[in-house]
Structure 1
Amino acid sequence: MTPSPPSRSQSRSPRGTTGIGPLRSRRGCKTCKARRVKCGEEKPTCLRCSSTGRKCEYQGTVPLGTYSSAAASSVASLLDKPRSPSPNSSSSSLSSVWRERRAFAYYFQHAATFVGGLDVEFWSTVVPQVCQVEPAVWDAIIALSAMFEDREHNSNAPQRYTLPENRRDALAWYSRSVSAVRQRIERGGSDVFVGLISCVLFICIEALQGGTEEAIRLYAQGVQLIVALRAQIACGAIPARKGVLLEDTIVPIFVRLAIMALSVSGVSVQALMLETAQVLSGFASLKAAREAMVLLVMEAALFQEACESNHADMQYATDVPPELIARQAALFSRLRSWKAAFTTFLDYLRMKNGGGELSAQQTTTIALLTTYHEMTYTIVAICTSPRKTITDKHLHNFRNIVDQSRIALDASARSDGTQPPFTFDIGVGFPIWFTCLRCADPTIRREALALLRRAPQVEGFYGNATITVSAEAIMVIEESLAMAIDAHRARNQTLHTGGQVDTSHITMFDVNRFAVTLEGPNTNSNAITNTTLLPTLTVSDIPEEARIKPLVPFRPRDGVPPGLTRGAVERWGRAPDTWFLIFSRLDRDPVDGVWREIFDCVPAELES
């Protein structure tokens, strides 16, 4: 595994600030409050008190998540043994040691729960234990912590100063971790299991700093490491307990990520799924229900790929081969089994809880799993047809996705109404993105967009700002095309009577010469000017010819994708390194009535 070293940030501390400081809140220890100094809130003893030999006491208890006593002991041990080079008497070395210890305490107390979701034991126990003997993992943890805090600070409190030292420290620690992993590989002493844990942490770090492409590359390397680790376990070179951790926790993490990486990574996920049993007869926990649902989502995605290949081969005819019908029926059966097992488990969970309210995490997870079930059912139902208007039969499913996503976001919101900046667990982003992409109902779509803006900044590989603005662009493109097609048909019918109207020549360049932005704040209202294009528009006003399929963005300098002419790009007059959003739509030939796929593109960046 050879990730690229990160580049250093050039940000500077605003005037009047001193860079990173202890955590700012009212939950500091009584000793620091009495001394009127900022407390780092480390538990059970804050760093300021422990470093000066003072007694440290806290007022009441602060909920920090569910951690085992062994994990707490590990943290105390690690805080006593920082992974920096042995400090000398210089103030700079002591400051470096203190910042590392503070970053680790912040990770353990704040970041681990939000990053891990239902996998809290892995993130708050296993990873900290590994970092006791692996400096590269220690450096990766504190880098992740610093970037998490930087995201947290700047997104939820934009009026406050930034944390440039946090960013610089994170990049330095990350670079040090990458170098350590490379050195072990070069020496031939690399532990595959440690390498896999480092890979997971590196993916998080890249995602937090916006390195989606690098995160996906690391994901592909992680899949290779899983295959290698399974081979070592099979021959007895790795202890069986590590094999259990691999299959129960690490492989499911990569399977969940595969949902987002399937279309862009080029990595086959079949190897991951072969060793993962899918139990649908009953669930012992929400985590078990989640893993089973993720596998169903993956099966549905693979089924969708097979259907799309058939559509292309059959020139978008509506005939469905018997084998695809059989696969669809089998998936529907498994989805029904999952739903029945999930309902039974929820009844048990409520009975166990004595009829009282469920916890916020339970409420969030239940709502999330419901949205994934609705999404997966809809995918399986619609993908056998090449016609995108088939989704209009499933508006109730899209409505349920939006309603359950709202419940999930309300339950996961913190006291100030904000969401955690990053999650590596399943989130609302994918189901809401699917709704924005395939639901043409203007009301439901705009509700989904509003919820997408409330979601965590980063889920898995992707930043929320990017997918929010691109989702809005898809809506605008479809509604703009619908307007143009309707106007063209009206003019044509005025001149002629009857017959199919050719709309294949209508392009976004002629319809609406706007540009969208896939970067920057997701509240940017200047990027798309017709978000409320047609307040009275209904789903029936958007014909098949206006329904689009977004494809992977491209830059002209890397070549023009198949199906798109160079002229379609050059007419926009943009630089070769400009990102473009490419999409396709179906249009019926007015002579033979055959549906054909046509391609178009719009710039994905604002003009400077």
Structure 2
Amino acid sequence: MMEALPNTPQASITNPEPDTAGSESRLSALPLKRSRVVVSQSKRGCVTCKTRRVKCDEQKPLCRRCVQAGRLCSGYNHESKLPVALKPALKIGVAADSGTERLTYLAAHVLSLDNNGRPVQEDGVWGRIFLQLSNQVPCVKAAAAAFGAAYESLVDNAIERSPCSVWRYYGSALTKLQSDINNRTAGPESLALASMILACTEILSQHETNAFAHFLGAVQILTESQHGGQWAPRSSTHILSTVKDELVKFDVLIGSYAISQTPAFMYLESNWQGDAPADDVFDDPELAINAAMLCLHRSYRFVEAAAKLRYTYPSWKEHDPIMFKGQLDAVTQCRSVLDELGAVATRLQAQYSSAMSTLRDAKTLAEVYALRTQLTAAIIYMLCVHSPFQTAYDEHQLLFQSIVTDAAASARLRRRAQTSAFKRFSTRPGIVSSLFIVSMKCRDPPLRALATTLLNEQSREGPTDGHIMAAIGARLAAIETTGNVPSREAPLAACNVPEDRRVHGYGVSPPKLNGEGHRVVEVEFSRPKVPLVKGWGNVDYTDLGNWTFWSETIDI
């Protein structure tokens, strides 16, 4: 049973009735002339009410007049202090009248608010839309409380030891969401957002499979809405479109980790149409970031489609000209966006070095560098996807070097910009997954070791944990280089790691505590039973029976 919102006094949102006593005598004494009705406005009202020239009740963080009318409250851009309603969330574990209220506010602070209580992505899903729907729609509020509980447990390092509280809120949110889906008592934008928040809750616990299931649920909801499904509330076209675009970006976050993409039969296309973004898109850093993420989305979808042919031919370049052209087009588009991001980074770097630099400039520049690592990693995957041989990656050492350089720049900027005691949770891609690609696929020892060291200095980014990835990368390197002792004249290089010693894939379980209270993960590695260089043409490598799988427990 969800806890009810506390009753709070509200300012009237209707114009008061005029005093009519003695009105006839007063009117007869006045000359007749056209009068202008003036609406009294609040000087500190929300942006939406001030724009509409109506009185605002000044409720924080969202004006109730906008909420009750179904409008998107644009917040208080002049407000500098943290809203009073958010203060219970500022200290983990502070008692409040309602656990659900406190955890919902905690989720709002982590997902959408900066240190001053203002939305960090004002016009995006995790800005005012999240704040409004989590305040207005019960299933979104319940999902936000579940996220808040998971985040609080993560900060207290109690998510493995004491998960009962987390899953009580999670179960309640899941029940409420399922009921609203069955009864159509909430709009598709609210149901999709609640599903995304529950996916974020699973990501906090590193259950990526469950997170992806919630992601697919959100896609299915929007698919039905797009195809004319009937919903009880009337959905806002703007909010629905914004939620859909956020799902595309969310696909990038999950895809960058597992390269597992939305099934082709499901509707998930961005509002960005055409082969390439317009040139002026890259004049604005935020638009440039969005364009890069959408380019990544399309790149990962190509990789997922092309990977199905990996063990059909030694190289499908000569056998599938259509796929080969698709590869060239995808790589060309990625390189173009990568170059444009380089120009954006140069402009931002000059701005960041000036006396007028702001904290926001540093964060934006860090994100541009992070996206460059993601795009470079996508290019490597697309260039190698036609070949099943791991030695194909040895041709792209300069690209691996570029990932490490951009990742180091992004990490340095993020350290300087870190001012909040709260660990931010972002649905945008960072540098961890890109560095892990270097750690896993680049067999040049110095570069691989540097990427692993950088990984170990990072914390959580969405579904990826830098410490876990660093431990797996170090173990991968040890497995592949065992028995390959370099001579004094010829140090070990990538080409010295033979194909039959290279690990092709891995799978990792959620972390758990061992008997000594240390965090560990079970990692399953794989390689062909008969090396490709010996068995190609005689062994069916699409059959899992022709692969060797083994598990190892790795300390974090």
TM-score normalized with structure 1 length: 0.62
Shift of 1:327: 1.8
Q: How well do the aligned residues superpose, as a CA RMSD in angstroms?
A: 4.5
> Residue 249 of structure 1 aligns to which amino acid in structure 2?
E
- Does structure 2 retain, via aligned residues, the 8 Å contact 1:143–1:174? yes
Find the aligned partners of 2:382 and 2:262 in 1 and give their Cα distance. Answer: 22
Aligned equivalent of 1:423, options 417, 423, 426 = 426
- Taking structure 1 as reference, are residues 444 and 596 closer, same or farther at Cα in structure 2, changes over 3 Å only? farther
Find the aligned partners of 2:242 and 2:503 in 1 and give their Cα distance. Answer: 42
2:396 is matched with 394
Find the aligned partners of 2:179 and 2:80 in 1 and give their Cα distance. Answer: 30
Shift of 1:130: 0.9
Tell me, what secondary structure is at the counterpart of 1:384? coil
CA deviation map 1:350-407 (0-9, x unaligned): 6777955462212211211221232122223233333322322221211121121122
Larger RCO (CA under 8 A, 6+ residues apart): 1
Aligned residues: 452
> Residue 480 of structure 1 aligns to which amino acid in structure 2?
T
1:330 is matched with 329
Find the aligned partners of 1:314 and 1:234 in 2 and give their Cα distance. Answer: 47
Shift of 1:166: 9.6
Q: Within the alignment, does 1:243 sit opposite 2:212 as a pair? A: no
Find the aligned partners of 2:552 and 2:162 in 1 and give their Cα distance. Answer: 31
CA deviation map 1:295-322 (0-9, x unaligned): 3333333433454444422256874532
1:200 is matched with 196
- Taking structure 1 as reference, are residues 117 and 477 closer, same or farther at Cα in structure 2, changes over 3 Å only? farther
1:280 is matched with 277
- Taking structure 1 as reference, are residues 337 and 143 closer, same or farther at Cα in structure 2, changes over 3 Å only? same
Shift of 1:118: 5.5
Aligned equivalent of 1:584, options 528, 531, 536 = 528
- Does structure 2 retain, via aligned residues, the 8 Å contact 1:318–1:385? no
In terms of mean alpha carbon deviation, does 438-447 or 127-136 score higher? 127-136
> Residue 298 of structure 1 aligns to which amino acid in structure 2?
H
Q: Within the alignment, does 1:433 sit opposite 2:436 as a pair? A: yes
- Does structure 2 retain, via aligned residues, the 8 Å contact 1:233–1:240? no
CA deviation map 1:230-258 (0-9, x unaligned): 23499996332223323443443345434
1:601 is matched with 549
Shift of 1:165: 12
In terms of mean alpha carbon deviation, does 253-262 or 73-82 score higher? 73-82
Q: Within the alignment, does 1:540 sit opposite 2:495 as a pair? A: yes
Shift of 1:542: 0.5
In terms of mean alpha carbon deviation, does 219-228 or 408-417 score higher? 408-417
2:31 is matched with none
Aligned equivalent of 1:144, options 122, 144, 147 = 147
1:9 is matched with none
Matches within 5 A, 1:316-355: 319=318, 321-346=320-345, 349=348, 355=354
Percent identity for Structure 1 against Structure 2: 15
> Residue 133 of structure 1 aligns to which amino acid in structure 2?
Q
CA deviation map 1:554-586 (0-9, x unaligned): 9xxxxxxxxxxxxxxxxxxxxxxx874333377
- Does structure 1 retain, via aligned residues, the 8 Å contact 2:203–2:462? yes
- Taking structure 1 as reference, are residues 121 and 97 closer, same or farther at Cα in structure 2, changes over 3 Å only? farther
Find the aligned partners of 2:309 and 2:126 in 1 and give their Cα distance. Answer: 42
- Does structure 2 retain, via aligned residues, the 8 Å contact 1:388–1:544? yes
- Does structure 1 retain, via aligned residues, the 8 Å contact 2:134–2:140? yes
> Residue 525 of structure 2 aligns to which amino acid in structure 1?
L
Find the aligned partners of 1:415 and 1:241 in 2 and give their Cα distance. Answer: 32
- Does structure 1 retain, via aligned residues, the 8 Å contact 2:303–2:382? yes
2:6 is matched with none
- Does structure 2 retain, via aligned residues, the 8 Å contact 1:311–1:386? yes
1:40 is matched with none
Tell me, what secondary structure is at the counterpart of 2:143? helix
CA deviation map 1:188-211 (0-9, x unaligned): 424322111100110111111233
- Does structure 2 retain, via aligned residues, the 8 Å contact 1:117–1:423? no
Shift of 1:218: 1.0
Find the aligned partners of 1:591 and 1:76 in 2 and give their Cα distance. Answer: 66
Matches within 5 A, 1:93-172: 97=97, 99-113=99-113, 121-154=124-157, 169-172=165-168
CA deviation map 1:127-158 (0-9, x unaligned): 1211222233223223323432432344xxxx
Tell me, what secondary structure is at the counterpart of 1:143? helix
Shift of 1:440: 0.5
- Does structure 2 retain, via aligned residues, the 8 Å contact 1:391–1:438? yes
Q: Within the alignment, does 1:181 sit opposite 2:177 as a pair? A: yes
Shift of 1:121: 4.4
CA deviation map 1:431-471 (0-9, x unaligned): 112112210011111221222222232x3334445444333
> Residue 218 of structure 1 aligns to which amino acid in structure 2?
H
- Does structure 1 retain, via aligned residues, the 8 Å contact 2:310–2:385? no
- Does structure 1 retain, via aligned residues, the 8 Å contact 2:316–2:324? no
Aligned equivalent of 1:69, options 76, 100, 103 = 76
Find the aligned partners of 1:276 and 1:474 in 2 and give their Cα distance. Answer: 39
CA deviation map 1:51-107 (0-9, x unaligned): xxxxxxxxxxxxxxxx9417979995966999xxxxxxxxxxx95525444434444
- Does structure 2 retain, via aligned residues, the 8 Å contact 1:439–1:445? yes
> Residue 297 of structure 1 aligns to which amino acid in structure 2?
L
- Does structure 2 retain, via aligned residues, the 8 Å contact 1:587–1:595? no
Tell me, what secondary structure is at the counterpart of 1:601? strand
Find the aligned partners of 1:461 and 1:71 in 2 and give their Cα distance. Answer: 35
CA deviation map 1:249-285 (0-9, x unaligned): 344334543444543x773387313654254232243
2:447 is matched with 444
Alignment gaps of 5+ in structure 2:
2-73, 510-521
- Taking structure 1 as reference, are residues 277 and 117 closer, same or farther at Cα in structure 2, changes over 3 Å only? farther
Find the aligned partners of 1:392 and 1:594 in 2 and give their Cα distance. Answer: 26
- Taking structure 1 as reference, are residues 219 and 584 closer, same or farther at Cα in structure 2, changes over 3 Å only? farther
- Taking structure 1 as reference, are residues 462 and 229 closer, same or farther at Cα in structure 2, changes over 3 Å only? farther
Find the aligned partners of 2:244 and 2:131 in 1 and give their Cα distance. Answer: 19
- Does structure 1 retain, via aligned residues, the 8 Å contact 2:397–2:442? yes
Tell me, what secondary structure is at the counterpart of 2:268? helix
- Does structure 1 retain, via aligned residues, the 8 Å contact 2:153–2:166? no
2:61 is matched with none
- Does structure 2 retain, via aligned residues, the 8 Å contact 1:280–1:341? no
Find the aligned partners of 1:547 and 1:419 in 2 and give their Cα distance. Answer: 40
- Taking structure 1 as reference, are residues 588 and 383 closer, same or farther at Cα in structure 2, changes over 3 Å only? closer
TM-score normalized with structure 2 length: 0.68
2:379 is matched with 377
Find the aligned partners of 1:467 and 1:351 in 2 and give their Cα distance. Answer: 33
